[in-house]
Structure 1
Amino acid sequence: MTAGTITPENDTTGARAPQTKATAAARIVGVGTASSEHRYSQQELLDHFAIEDPKIRSVFLNSAIDRRYLTLPELDAHGAVIEESQGELLDKHRRIALDMGARAVRACLEDSGLDPADIDYLCCVTTTGFLTPGLSALLIREMGLSPRTSRVDVVGMGCNAGLNALNAVAGWSVANPGKVAVALCVEACSAAYVIDSTLRTAVVNSLFGDGAAAVALITDTQDTAHSAPASPAGSGSPRILSFASHLITDAIDAMRFDWDDSQGKFSFFLDPQVPYVVGANAEQIIGRLLDGAGLRRSDIDHWLVHSGGKKVIDAVRVNLGLTRHDVRHTIGVLRDYGNLSSGSFLFSYERLLQERVTRSGDYGVLMVMGPGSTIETALVQW
């Protein structure tokens, strides 16, 4: 394994390299999550949709998912699912996303000791519906945030979008020290389903769940940076050190939304080769991320990987030489929520903080993947 910028002259002991360039960095000062109202086991979902096809049942029951939060279409008097039009799905998206998003932001603010009036910048991420005005404007009105709040909406990027947004929000935070920036990922996956008897839709329908996650960022002003104490053992508030991106252009159609004329709605497609494509490219981008900081993979104390699915997690773990313990939160979030798209890694981040195992000086890697095909990463330090 390469040591990046560490050389024998400056590292003869194998110890992790110090950060030699002192630059302003945004800190994650709070996190909050929320789900939709109803939780279902995979068996309950098979029963609700009266799915008898053994191949489709196998996809559901061998997904490493125990339960998910979803808002299902109602049944008619004969027990058949009432079909939802694209317009009805967009209405569902708006309703669920506003509810989950507001609750996630409030939980994040409570975790960080902030009030809604403290938010200076709001970035909202979603792939499960389209709204104009966007979620950011609707949430500012819904939550009574200041109409002066700066905002941006990231729509349609997919499961990787949470880290794309975090990159942009961290940049805004560094440019506006002392101000509060919030990144919110809201995915009402219940509003992005096509119900039919094909294996294509079965893979998607067996995987995704509703969820929202928010993080608050602050960059210390010069005065507070000089006077701030080191983070206590078990605390949150890691600094965001750097990002690295990798677009796998040969697999640009491997994850995509298509318009389905027969259904009159959008349909999401997942190529079965996605796990292997992601796994094959994981080492390259992690090497680049860590080389820039003069670190080895063995220097990373905490790994927070997107809960993209059992095969995706296994491919990343094998290619990076990670243990099941390293990705325990990734596995746990998939088991308890399914794939939450852009916010999955923040659910894992919240679970890590709840363990209270982070220590001052620990390094962490955030890693997500999605349409493009794309792998996005970030390096943080407590």
Structure 2
Amino acid sequence: MFIVGLGTANPPQRYTQAECLRALQAHPCYDALKPSSQALIARILQHPHGIATRHFALDDLAQAFELAPDVMQQRFDENAPKLATEAAFRALADAGITVEDIDAVVISTCTGYLCPGLTSYVIERMGLKPDTLALDLVGQGCGAAIPNLRTSEALIAAGRAQHVLSVCVEVCSAAMYLDDDAGVLVSACLFGDGAGAAVLSAEPGTGPQVEWLDTYALTHPEDRDLLRFEHRHGLLRNILSPQVPERAAHYAEAVLMPMLQKHSLAQSDIAGWVWHGGGKNVLDALQAKLGLADSAVRHSRRILNDYGNLSSAFVYFVLQAALADQPQSGWWWMSSFGAGFSCHGGLLKVTA
């Protein structure tokens, strides 16, 4: 399988972390927080913590604190199909193919729910063929991109599809929550809205060739409660535990090393790295655990700085940025991790 096109999309509204802090401090919900919670938010948003700006599907930042189930659901309903479609059209343009060439569409999200799923809306908006195979994947959190790509790979390998559209879209502003839990507050300072898409094909495309060669994944339910959504008062509430950076780094190593051994590779053989950027502390932990050079995480850090944590869409942004920056030919490694606790890896071969 080959990745022959990539596209990304964000809402046009972009806000600095300082603007987010001022909007929160001006809202009555801020006064309901404990002084320690207010201090935590200020510390994260006022000082460099790996994120400078984030995009939100909001006309005004004050809307972010309208924490009512119907308001949040409407935000997802209006923006998830729009962002997914925009990213998908850009991926098609990058691949140089048309909607008539798409045989299947696989869409992942964790920040909202629709029935029929997002695929129905994207098929309609894009004008895809009525017999396009449509699969909606939910509940995989930040790690969803690679399971999505593995599903697409299976469709191509089975001969069911020649071209598959793979999309991850997250409207994180539709899944925010505020209370005095430190993990909840950090989450509110971390996530942004966006979508990423890839066109996958049985044959290589033009430009740099990105071949999807092999994958490996681990799921550890004993760590499920470290990183997950729960429902409270009709809203999604993100649980983000302090152990997440260490666990993410541990499992990232546990997924990478068997794949290197399987293919008789050393870590030094990897020419390009595509990491999910769960946050500055996560990237710091990854870098320390694996002894990675700054260059191995620079694209992930840049995407985190410019967009925040985009959840499942993040690795599409990183891959796109890496391929646009004088890519080196050779073995590449892509890794995503998230709810579950799950960690996924994909071995790529890039010919620049």
Structure 2 length-normalised TM: 0.91
Q: Residue type matched to 2:85 in 1?
A: A
Q: Which runs of 5+ in 2 are unaligned?
A: none
Distance 1:240 1:80, change over 3 A: closer
Contact 2:64 2:173 in 1 (8 A): no
Structure-1 separation of matches of 2:160 and 2:64? 52
Aligned to 1:40: 15
Do the aligned partners of residues 255 and 174 (structure 1) sit closer, same or farther apart at CA in structure 2, a change above 3 Å counting? same
Match for 1:278 among 240, 248, 252? Answer: 248
Deviation at 1:62, TM superposition (A): 4.2
Deviation at 1:293, TM superposition (A): 1.3
8 Å CA contact 1:35–1:211 kept in 2: the answer is yes
Q: Output one character per residue of 1:252-283: Cα deviation in whole Å (capped at 9) or x when no partner.
A: 1111111223xx31211101111011222332
From 118, 121, 125, the counterpart of 1:135: 118
Does the C-alpha gap of structure 1 residues 274 and 118 become closer, same or farther in structure 2, counting only changes over 3 Å?
Answer: same
1:377 corresponding residue in structure 2: 345
* 1:162-241 mapped onto 2 (5 Å cutoff): 162-176=145-159, 179-220=162-203, 235-241=207-213
Q: What whole-Å deviation, never above 9, does each CA across 1:215-245 have from its counterpart, x for those lacking one?
A: 011113xxxxxxx8xx99xx42311110011
How many Å separate the matches in 1 of 2:63 and 2:119? 36
Contact 2:192 2:308 in 1 (8 A): yes
Residues in 1 aligned to 2:110 and 2:241: alpha-carbon distance in whole angstroms: 18
Alpha-carbon offset, residue 56 of structure 1: 1.6
Q: 2:93 aligns with which of 66, 85, 110?
A: 110
Task: Say whether the 8 Å CA contact 1:30–1:237 is kept in structure 2.
Answer: no
Q: How many residues align?
A: 339
Counterpart residue identity of residue 33, structure 1: T
Partner of 1:254: 226
> Does 2:216 match 1:244?
yes
For residue 309 of structure 2, what is the aligned residue in structure 1?
339
AA of the residue aligned to 1:365 = W
Equivalent position amino acid for 2:256 in 1: I
Query: Structure 1: how far apart are the matches of 2:7 and 2:296?
Result: 22
1:58 aligns with 2:28: no
Long gaps (5+) in structure 1? 1-25, 221-227
- Specify which structure has the higher proportion of helix: 2
Q: Which moved more, 1:83-92 or 1:204-213?
A: 83-92
Aligned partners of 2:158 and 2:65: how far apart in 1? 50
Distance 1:274 1:367 in 2: 15
TM-score where L is the length of structure 1: 0.84
Residues 167-214 of structure 1 show CA distances to partners (whole Å, capped at 9, x for unaligned) of: 110111122287110100000111000134543321110000001000
191-200 vs 313-322, greater mean Cα deviation: 191-200
Q: Which consecutive aligned stretches of 4+ in structure 1 deviate over 4 angstroms post-superposition?
A: 79-82
Matched, 1:88 2:63: no
- RMSD after superposition: 2.0
Residues 274-325 of structure 1: per-residue CA shift (max 9 Å, x gap): 1011222332221111112111111100010001101111111111111111
| Equivalent residue, structure 2, for 1:16 | none
What is the CA-CA distance between 1:83 and the residue it aligns to? 2.2
Cα shift at 1:71: 2.6
